[in-house]
A and B are shown apart, each in its own frame.
Chain A
Amino acid sequence: QKEVEQNSGPLSVPEGAIASLNCTYSDRGSQSFFWYRQYSGKSPELIMSIYSNGDKEDGRFTAQLNKASQYVSLLIRDSQPSDSATYLCAVRRAPNTGFQKLVFGTGTRLLVSP
């Protein structure tokens, strides 16, 4: 079982729709969760972080966390063609001491059609 799992996609949605991207993780002790956006051929860019159960909204983006189910999701409202990219889920472990390693999923490719 991978530490962080994402459906590779592509997830295709029409312009204006809500895109829902999902991520599950295996380490129940994980404390911090991040979403990065990566355009084709470019480097990742941090778009959302979430640390507590529930929802966190930032503009058109909403991150949702359910630690009991070990599940984190990213909703993109009013999807635009410019949102077409690969979205990487990243989870930070919480060791007792030392370096808090970040583990990335393989990413979900989102395609938003005009």
Chain B
Amino acid sequence: DGGITQSPKYLFRKEGQNVTLSCEQNLNHDAMYWYRQDPGQGLRLIYYSQIVNDFQKGDIAEGYSVSREKKESFPLTVTSAQKNPTAFYLCASSYRAKDTGELFFGEGSRLTVL
């Protein structure tokens, strides 16, 4: 079955540690996105990639990094520079770069900083 796989589902991190969240899709979608969801707030865009080997900052990119070396993969690293990393992280994809509204989401990764 086609879909988006995020791992891990739950992650605990000590302050000062970098962590990487995995996102893999087998939908053959061109574009991939990382969103962050906090209670009482809408989804906020961290990074997006419209094509392999290219990615752009979203609204809240500070403290995060990404790579897009393969069409199927778009990992997100939460660095120690991110001041408030505890959140629900959602990876999404769309068939074409212009289909930014028609998103397929992974199951999410919940990060907690201890």
What are the interface flags for A34-51 relative to B under an 8 Å C-beta threshold, 1 for contact and 0 otherwise? 101000001111100100
Q: Flag if A107 contacts B108 (CB, 8 Å).
A: no
How many B residues, CB 8 Å from partner?
A: 20
Q: How far is the CA of A92 from the CA of B102 in the complex (A)?
A: 10
Q: Flag if A4 contacts B42 (CB, 8 Å).
A: yes
Contacts of B50 in A (CB 8 A): 99
Q: Is A62 an interface position by the 8 A CB rule? A: no
Known: A43-B105, A44-B105. A8 touches B40 (CB 8 A): yes
Q: Is B101 an interface position by the 8 A CB rule? A: yes
Interface size bucket, A side? 20 to 34
Q: How far is the CA of A92 from the CA of B41 in the complex (A)?
A: 17
Interface majority SS (helix, strand, loop, mixed), chain B: loop
Contacts of B45 in A (CB 8 A): 101-102
Interface residues of chain B, those whose CB is within 8 Å of chain A, are 40-45, 48, 50, 56, 90, 98, 100-108
| 18 further A-B pairs in the complex, CB-CB below 8 A; given A92-B100, A102-B103, A106-B41 | A32-B101, A36-B103, A43-B90, A43-B106, A43-B108, A44-B105, A49-B102, A88-B43, A92-B101, A99-B48, A99-B56, A99-B100, A100-B101, A102-B101, A104-B42, A104-B44, A105-B42, A107-B42
Interface residues of chain A, those whose CB is within 8 Å of chain B, are 4, 8, 32, 34, 36, 42-46, 49, 88, 90, 92, 99-107
